[in-house]
């Protein structure tokens, strides 16, 4: 059992340092001290693919994830946190440990974070471990990319905690400040959760494709989400929820056994979930990879290529698009299979039905070489000859809280609700016209 | 009033000629004399997207549509018709008038066809009118393509008959002999019907993408369809039904009024239905067309292009593929929007959700030029500046008989049931490998 | 010898109408009265693919071709003509007949035009015949596109005149006002000439891809061209010449004989020359065309497609680009072969060497259907089954005046001379970045 | 034990060992003992882009490069070597050291190889250094790919030897046994030579795109090459030479200085030459690379992509093709610039003129990440932010021996000489037709 006791003790250690000079205001408390989360319910509307959302109780625990390294975004976080804790008393702020570390002193109220591990050290936040799935890469190998993030946003916790990931247990609302990468990162923190909290995303600076609200709208956006509608009066409500499908994926060994490898050597191994895509790539090896692709039990084809992408419709505007894939509306229930630089003139991108089970196996003909497996632009591990990744679409409960990533959307004008057409034109420069005004 | 009386009289006229020399055997009777059709019911299976099919009563009226001009296919028609009328007494054969005219004398039993119009002439088959939707192009304009078919497969009937199209009223099962073009033609005969009968298609010679059975299988294929399963025992059944979505489309004038034009000037104007696609194309005009594309009420973009395709997933392997579109599994509920030679570097094919309503309007900037509108590779008419086509996906009842084209599929091996993966490889030469054996 | 006599007579007829009210100033004289043209010579520069240009004598006869229907462009023509005739006495202006008809009264000096035919009618300009190659489509067929130009820019002349096309004999410099279409039209007037005069093109309004100078630069641009450099001092010169390769094409019958068809039934049949491309297209026929493509004597492939494009590098940013072709720098000596919507997954665009001889034959399997042949976006005629078009690159003399279209280019900064990189970015929106500023 | 001591002065010592057990037949001699190479001369033919070839003296030194690891190919090497040394007395065989080591005992005559370095170690072949350009990667870094080749085909030699690479000095004819990869490897051995010897390539097993002759033809192919034509009688000659252009590339530091890095820290640093392409790729980093592309001094664009390829026309059917590039005939004088998965809808492949100088600079915005630089599918090194690669086309002397890779081609039938059309169809499955025979 995880006790606050240890944590308190731990914090005392660190507080010695933390509070010595700068920390006159907020303090960092353990996320375990928060009340458990409340789940909203979603309802299908007759007029649209978007859902309306209703809270049984008011949401209190708001997790904020921010893009690192941009000063204005830090300021925005502070302003936002002050606003909601003041305007809606009883609201608690959850931050990633490193962010808590850097910002708690600028906030007038305490913030909550995952505490350092029980075998704590006096320098808790330097023990970087990844709370995402796949969990626990305990040995930092020498191959590893230098971490370019200025704020290490990970902390370690024990493997039994995976089952009871505190973010999953506590977060009512997930707020992001940053671009698409920040949303992908936030989603990755919930990659083993069946019930991701509603995601309210603010684009800071350049608008991203997945983001929705501008910073200037922050007050009304949060207010709308908080008060969102009783189903009877949904018409008056100006937000909606787009439940974005996720991919689910597991890695299997030459004999079909579930394996860990760099994915973790533990019992409680779980599937990865992707918001955009899972990709296999030859990586740094200058030679073509040979991949066998199965749909259900049937060999679709053997791809000789730089790699292969299995994408959600959400991810159709990400890597898959760069590789020549079509653009899909996020509500088309399907999976995309897009080759990366295939050595064939006739390998076209495919769009598969939502119930397709895809297996990507590295052919034994690759003679000892590995391919890189990435999830949403993060390296997951290396896959050896004969090993395989199995990918399918996470099932989404119809009106239950389970499945997908519930993204909060603005409801501007009737019909325009999902803003997708606008995004194509404004962001992707879709069908951008030729010519130049003199 | 349409009566057999008139028809008999009509036939007497023609019999004079028909029976004089060759017609010692079958005769051509009016389709109106047949009992009304029986509808099968369809059931969703837990294990698959394909449906199982059950007849309340045994099917009796079998319409056969064949590719014109190939002798072997004519022989096959005769062999098939003899087989089913002999093996399953009470079975009636429906043919297109010109086919009936050419083949009745080779059959031992009568065949049924749409009779010539009441104001009949002694040369009924020369009064070519098209029983498909859009109906009635009464004035054959000088622009029209010379008919290259060797057997005119149309007959004229009165416009009030549209409501009571005898094919729709009488056909229990639709059998095709030929390639994809023959299936498209057969489907076009039911383009105004909400409840297309099950389609059993035999590929003759080269296999097509939409076809399913080989000629050699004709006896077991028909037997399977006829005896297809009670729902309880569906597992033992070796056929399934893929209900292919159709597009629905109407043409509207500059003021939004429903128009006819070459589509017919009549009251009873109906929507066109497409199995593959609806396309707009500059046709013979060497200049780029300017088209405004709306999704719902929103302007998506202005396309400057050779044309634009709105396709079903079924049609994703047809014209859309040639224009750079992705390949979609036919059961992905969606619409494809694929540009034809767009004058933009950044106009990618789109896949829209099943409830998208698309409007294609010819911009007034086209200065008097028309674009050609085609449905499933058949010219529908010309669209003038300011006029528009509205396209959407036909709704398909869940387990009702309504909507889509129920295509009979072989059930080979578990999981391989829909043969799509095989078709990609065998027919489209998908990801065809490089290199050559020495 | 073509005499002014007839022409004078003709003009008297029309003057009755023309001069009655508005025509107090310039008059329209016969182009045949002009002195013959002077040819510039071109020299290869060590530092660049662009040529420098030198006049032995000063150019006097300036032909101006303008885009029809835009008032400002008419005003620009008047201003330009007044400027050069005033500033450089002895300069003569040549106009297309209809333009001469509409603008002569606004000019203070006479203009020169091709006179109406000797068997003149009182309504000369209504006898529309096309002075371009292919010449003479004497019977306006009922299929023909309504002419949307507001100023018919054609006049008729006898077929023996083809050999001695007065534009080719008289024009020292060709100036265009308008977009790419205007340059293509101007080039088409010289399509049978081996020695096209230097082309100075002014983009009016929206910049085109082939245009070079802005209207505001007209004085310095013309001055630079006129005084362009003695070879010794070429460094000081601020214009250069890009000699754009043209395609040459002829049509041949089933037995390999040179044919006319709609291309003219006359003896003096000549090859067409294209600045952009020659294309074959199914046109209005909704069925795929089957085309055999030969490179030299070898069958390359049989294309089943909407059509096929043979393009110059100049045309690589025109129709070929829309059909998926690569972008080529205009000085890469080559031919592009780009399919239009091919029914194959593996038909990639090809770039062939400059000496490739391409034959496009309509397969006899097209069963009586024709394909449309177009040159630079103008319909050339219909090609029947078994007939063929042969296409190759016009040979260009190294430093002689012969071959290609000498386009005058600005020489801004060293290295930037040909402006191609700028055009890709500014006009084609090449690699246009994603994202949107908030 | 193999020592340089033994090896010194024609391997006298090693013979002791070599001959002790297995070596009863051929011996390994130093390549330095061979007479210097003789250069053929090439002549342009009026009828073709291909050259004819003439030897002043008969070629004697034949270098054979083979694909490792396939037993049949080893047997073929033995058979070929025996044939030419027997049939053409005075012919000498040069092999790569590891191949010499493995095969000399199967040959009846001595073979020549590069001797181990003078400061020899007792284990010379383990001191793997690469005689290719870029030379000398003396420290085997821990990142390096495990060598999957079964025969290490490198030996070390001193850097001063680079200037006087013995392969370049001695090889009259270069023969390859294997696929395209073997030809690329053989070419890489001459990557710093301005005068690559004629390459005679035999495809073993599956035909490659660059290969030319089948194994069965080996006698006549070599005979034809050896006796190839006096220019007067070139018509009777049945081989020709296609001189394939190479790329030349150098790496430069942030301040424009020529750098080494993994490319070698030595004075005598040389450019890399590529037969197919030079590519930059994000490699294993899951994030997009940002690359600035200059053409001459002008910024073409900033590519945000997986990478970028600069390819020769020969390489247009290799990696560039997989990335969406057009197919170019190898004799089109040009460079291809093809993006790999660009994050833009409008980044089309470009074809640049032969004199284009391309600079690829890693933007400083990549924040410390490197991109991988590869040449012909071999890793060359990593490029850091602000560093750049400069690439251009090697100049090829008109009729001199200098420049390009002279590939020997069969001359079958007039016009078909270069076999390119056949290769497109047979190997690339260009425009492979749909459909399946029943
Ligand atoms: N060649 C390519 O296009 C590559 C693309 N990626 C994509 O990057 C994603 C990771 O994003 P970051 O961590 O921000 O990496 P990053 O910093 O490399 O940026 C990726 C870019 O993709 C955009 N993006 C991400 N998801 C998107 C979506 N669903 N629709 C439209 N645009 C989207 C982001 O705004 C950003 O501009 C991966 O999921 C993958 O899709 C990753 C590697 C290569
Ligand atoms: N450039 C192109 O690719 C063009 C394609 N078409 C297609 O032709 C269809 C009409 O077919 P036909 O009357 O037989 O004309 P057709 O005789 O011109 O043949 C069209 C070809 O498309 C194939 N096809 C038809 N539907 C298909 C599907 N759903 N999936 C895969 N292949 C399919 C047929 O087997 C045939 O090979 C149209 O619906 C349109 O999709 C029509 C015009 C141009
Ligand atoms: N789907 C397409 O992209 C089609 C393109 N065309 C092109 O149109 C040309 C005829 O031009 P217009 O008479 O003005 O017809 P148009 O009024 O249909 O306009 C064609 C467009 O192409 C542009 N253009 C022409 N030549 C170009 C070049 N070399 N590089 C870049 N852009 C170029 C023009 O500026 C104009 O925007 C033809 O030569 C053909 O290349 C013609 C038919 C269809
Ligand atoms: N995604 C892709 O298509 C990739 C392609 N490559 C290519 O592989 C080449 C190196 O070849 P290997 O060492 O054999 O590596 P490899 O074993 O990875 O095979 C590359 C394939 O490309 C073929 N190939 C090579 N050059 C060719 C050419 N000029 N035209 C047509 N086919 C060609 C080979 O026959 C082989 O099938 C590189 O120069 C690069 O062009 C390298 C990496 C990725």
- Could you report the per-residue pLDDT of D98-149, keeping only the tens digit for each? 999 999 999 999 999 998 765 433 332 222 334 443 333 333 333 433 333 4
What is the tens place of the pLDDT at every residue in C37-78? 999 999 887 767 788 899 989 999 999 999 999 999 999 999
Quote the tokens at residue B240: 């399934």
Residue A231 pLDDT: 60
Say which residue, D39 or A237, is predicted with more confidence.
D39
Name the band, by pLDDT with cuts 50, 70 and 90, for residue B249. Answer: very high
Contact A208, A183 (CB under 8 A): yes
Minimal CA–CA distance to D195: which of D240, D243, D158, D239? D243
> Which of B395-409, C172-186, D304-318 is predicted with the least confidence, judged by mean pLDDT?
B395-409
Task: Report whether the peptide linkage leading into residue B255 is cis, meaning its omega lies within 30 degrees of zero.
Answer: no
pLDDT at B122 over 80: no
* Distance, first Cα to last Cα, chain A: 71
Q: What is the mean pLDDT of residues C360-384?
A: 92
pLDDT at D383 over 60: yes
**3 state SS of D60:** coil
What is d(CA A178, CA A67) in angstroms, rounded to the nearest whole number?
Answer: 5
Closest residue in A to C208 (Cα) is A435
Give B96's DSSP letter. Answer: -
pLDDT at B85 over 60: yes
- CB B163: neighbour CB atoms within 10 A? 10
Give start and end residues of each alpha helix (H) in D336-414: none
- Domain C25-121+164-244: which topology? Rossmann fold (3.40.50)
- Ramachandran area for residue B136 (φ above 0: left; ψ -120 to 50: alpha; else beta): left
Task: Report whether the peptide linkage leading into residue C134 is cis, meaning its omega lies within 30 degrees of zero.
Answer: yes
What is the tens place of the pLDDT at every residue in D265-299? 333 456 888 999 999 999 999 999 999 999 998 99
Q: How many helices (H) and strands (E) does chain D have?
A: 9, 23
pLDDT at B156 over 60: no
Residue D278 pLDDT: 97
Over chain C, what is the mean pLDDT? 81
**Long-range residue pairs from B220-225, CB within 8 A, at least 24 positions apart, any chain:** B221/B408, B221/B410, B222/B80, B222/B83, B222/B84, B222/B175, B225/B53, B225/B59, B225/B173, B225/B198, B225/B200, B225/B408
Please state which of the four CATH numbers 2.60.200.30, 3.30.56.10, 3.40.50.300, 3.40.50.620 is assigned to the domain occupying B247-393.
Answer: 2.60.200.30
What is d(CA A248, CA A270) in angstroms, rounded to the nearest whole number?
Answer: 10
Name the band, by pLDDT with cuts 50, 70 and 90, for residue B236. Answer: low
Kindly state the helix (H) or strand (E) to which residue D91 belongs, with its residue range: none
What is d(CA C312, CA C203) in angstroms, rounded to the nearest whole number?
Answer: 22
Measure CA A268 to chain center: 20
Measure CA C267 to chain center: 23
Query: Alpha-carbon torsion D117, D119, D121, D126, what sign?
Result: negative
Which residues on B lie below 8 Å from A300 (Cβ)? 421, 424-425
pLDDT at A316 over 60: yes
pLDDT at C272 over 90: no
Pairing of strands C213-214, C199-203: parallel
DSSP for A322-337 reads HTTPPEE-TTS-EEEE
DSSP for C232-275 reads GGGGG--EEEEEE--EEEEEE-TTS-B--GGG-SSTT---EEES
Which residue of the set B172, B180, B271, B306 is catalytic?
B180
Give start and end residues of each alpha helix (H) in A88-190: 97-103, 166-170, 180-188
Count of alpha carbons within 13 Å of C231, Cβ hemisphere only? 10
What is d(CA C287, CA C281) in angstroms, rounded to the nearest whole number?
Answer: 11
| B180 has catalytic annotation | yes
Which residues on D lie below 8 Å from A145 (Cβ)? 285, 369
Ligand 4 mean position, distance from CA D134 (Å): 20
Give backbone dihedrals phi and psi of B375, rounded to 5 degrees, phi first. Answer: -125, 120
Residue with tokens 């085609």: B374
What is the tens place of the pLDDT at every residue in D207-264? 678 988 999 999 999 999 998 876 666 556 788 899 999 999 999 999 988 875 444 4
- Residue C435 has its nearest CB partner, among A207, A345, A433, at A207
Quote the tokens at residue A397: 């409960």
Give start and end residues of each alpha helix (H) in D88-140: 97-103
pLDDT at C126 over 60: no
Enumerate residues 6+ apart whose C-beta is below 8 A from D59: D38, D40, D91, D172, D173, D225, D226
Length of chain C: 438
Which residue of the set C172, C180, C306, C376 is catalytic?
C180
> Which of B378-382, D34-38, D138-142 is predicted with the least confidence, judged by mean pLDDT?
D138-142
Quote the tokens at residue A331: 């509500």
Ligand 3 mean position, distance from CA B291 (Å): 16
Give D329's DSSP letter. Answer: -
What is d(CA C271, CA C255) in angstroms, rounded to the nearest whole number?
Answer: 18
Quote the tokens at residue C279: 């294309």
Ligand 2 mean position, distance from CA B209 (Å): 10
C428 touches chain A (CB under 8 A): yes
Name the band, by pLDDT with cuts 50, 70 and 90, for residue C120. Answer: very low
Which residues on D lie below 8 Å from B344 (Cβ)? 346
Residue A12 pLDDT: 39
Q: Where are the domains of chain B?
A: 4-134+162-244, 247-393
Residue D395 pLDDT: 84
pLDDT above 90 coverage of chain A, percent: 56
Residue C426 pLDDT: 84
> Which of A160-164, C165-169, C302-306 is predicted with the least confidence, judged by mean pLDDT?
A160-164
**3 state SS of D82:** helix
What is d(CA A363, CA A367) in angstroms, rounded to the nearest whole number?
Answer: 9
B424 touches chain C (CB under 8 A): no
What is d(CA A210, CA A219) in angstroms, rounded to the nearest whole number?
Answer: 20
Residue A385 pLDDT: 96
**3 state SS of C321:** helix
- Segment 378-417 of chain C within 8 Å of chain D by CB: 415-416
Question: What is the distance in angstroms between the Cα of C356 and the nearest Cα belonging to chain D?
Answer: 10
Residue C217 pLDDT: 92
pLDDT at D53 over 80: yes
Minimal CA–CA distance to C330: which of C248, C414, C210, C175? C210
What is the tens place of the pLDDT at every residue in A359-377? 999 999 998 889 999 999 9
B372 strand-pairing partners:
B281, B382
Write the CA distances from D269 to D136, D141, D392, integer angstroms.
10, 20, 17
Residue D437 pLDDT: 45
- CB A72: neighbour CB atoms within 10 A? 11
Contact A61, A94 (CB under 8 A): yes
What is the tens place of the pLDDT at every residue in A406-432? 999 987 655 455 688 888 888 888 988
**3 state SS of B286:** coil
Quote the tokens at residue C155: 């006049």
Superfamily of A19-126+165-245+401-438 according to CATH: Probable inorganic polyphosphate/atp-NAD kinase; domain 1 (3.40.50.10330)
Which protein residue's CA is at the shortest distance from atom 33 of ligand 3? C318
Minimal CA–CA distance to A354: which of A324, A376, A332? A332
What is d(CA C376, CA C132) in angstroms, rounded to the nearest whole number?
Answer: 12
Residue ranges with strand state E in D22-91: 28-30, 40-44, 51-55, 61-66
What is the tens place of the pLDDT at every residue in D142-195? 343 333 344 433 333 333 334 468 999 999 999 999 999 999 999 999 988 889
Its CATH class, for the domain covering B4-134+162-244, is alpha beta
Q: Tell me the longest C-alpha to C-alpha distance in chain C.
A: 70
Report for B254-258, C259-263, D156-160: range of highest mean pLDDT:
B254-258
Enumerate residues 6+ apart whose C-beta is below 8 A from A65: A96, A99, A174, A175, A176, A177, A178, A182, A185, A186, A189
Contact D334, C332 (CB under 8 A): yes
Give A258's DSSP letter. Answer: B
Over chain B, what is the mean pLDDT? 81
Q: What dotted CATH number matches D4-133+156-244?
A: 3.40.50.10330
What is d(CA A7, CA A30) in angstroms, rounded to the nearest whole number?
Answer: 7
- Segment 34-53 of chain B within 8 Å of chain A by CB: 49
What is d(CA C251, CA C373) in angstroms, rounded to the nearest whole number?
Answer: 10
Measure CA D353 to chain center: 23
Enumerate residues 6+ apart whose C-beta is below 8 A from B365: B290, B385
Residue B209 pLDDT: 86
Q: What is the mean pLDDT of residues B393-413?
A: 81
Name the band, by pLDDT with cuts 50, 70 and 90, for residue A232. Answer: low
**3 state SS of D9:** helix
Residue B258 pLDDT: 82
Pairing of strands D199-203, D213-214: parallel
Count of alpha carbons within 13 Å of B195, Cβ hemisphere only? 18
What is d(CA D320, CA D336) in angstroms, rounded to the nearest whole number?
Answer: 8
B257 touches chain D (CB under 8 A): no
Contact D243, D405 (CB under 8 A): yes
pLDDT above 90 coverage of chain C, percent: 56
C283 touches chain B (CB under 8 A): yes
Give A166's DSSP letter. Answer: H
- CB D184 less than 6 A from any atom of ligand 4: yes
Give backbone dihedrals phi and psi of A263, rounded to 5 degrees, phi first. Answer: -80, 0
Residue D398 pLDDT: 64
Contact D427, B437 (CB under 8 A): no
Residue B265 pLDDT: 35
Quote the tokens at residue C117: 């035919």
């Amino acid at each position: 059992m995880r006790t606050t006791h240890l944590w308190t003790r731990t914090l005392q250690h660190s507080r010695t340092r933390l509070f010595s000079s700068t920390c006159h205001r907020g303090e960092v408390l353990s996320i375990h001290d928060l009340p458990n989360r409340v789940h909203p319910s979603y309802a299908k509307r007759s007029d649209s693919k978007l859902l309306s959302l209703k809270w049984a109780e008011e949401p209190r625990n708001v997790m904020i994830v921010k893009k690192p390294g941009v000063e204005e975004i830090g300021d925005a976080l502070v302003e936002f946190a002050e606003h909601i804790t003041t305007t809606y008393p009883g609201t608690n702020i959850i931050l990633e440990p490193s962010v808590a570390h850097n910002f708690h002193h600028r906030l007038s109220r305490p913030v909550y974070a995952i505490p350092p591990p029980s075998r704590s050290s006096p320098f808790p936040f330097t023990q970087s471990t990844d709370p995402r799935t796949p969990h626990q890469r305990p040995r930092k190998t020498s191959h590893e990319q230098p971490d370019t993030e200025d704020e290490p946003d990970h902390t370690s916790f024990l493997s039994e905690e995976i089952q009871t990931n505190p973010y999953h247990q506590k977060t009512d609302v997930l707020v992001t400040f940053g671009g698409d990468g920040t949303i992908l990162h936030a989603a990755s923190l919930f990659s083993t959760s069946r019930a991701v909290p509603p995601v309210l995303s603010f684009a800071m600076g350049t608008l991203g494709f997945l983001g929705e609200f501008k910073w200037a709208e922050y007050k009304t956006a949060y207010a709308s989400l908080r008060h969102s509608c009783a189903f009877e009066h949904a018409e008056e409500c100006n937000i909606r929820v787009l439940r974005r499908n996720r991919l689910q994926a597991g890695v299997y060994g030459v004999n079909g056994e579930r394996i860990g490898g760099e994915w973790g050597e533990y019992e409680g191994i779980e599937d990865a979930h992707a918001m955009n895509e899972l990709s296999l790539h030859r990586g740094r090896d200058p030679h073509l990879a040979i991949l066998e692709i199965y749909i259900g039990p049937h060999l679709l084809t053997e791809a000789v290529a730089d790699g292969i992408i299995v994408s959600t419709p959400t991810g159709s505007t990400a890597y898959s698009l760069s590789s020549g894939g079509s653009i899909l509306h996020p509500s088309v229930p399907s999976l995309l299979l897009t080759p990366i630089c295939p050595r064939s003139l006739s390998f076209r991108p495919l769009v598969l039905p939502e119930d397709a089970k895809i297996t990507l196996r590295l052919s034994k003909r690759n003679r000892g070489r590995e391919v890189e497996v990435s999830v949403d632009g993060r390296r997951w591990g290396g896959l050896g000859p004969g090993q395989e990744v199995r990918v399918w679409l996470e099932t989404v409960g119809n009106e239950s809280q389970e499945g997908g990533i519930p993204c909060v959307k603005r409801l501007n004008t009737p019909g325009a609700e999902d803003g997708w057409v606008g995004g194509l034109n404004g962001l992707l420069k879709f069908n951008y016209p030729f010519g130049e005004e003199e």
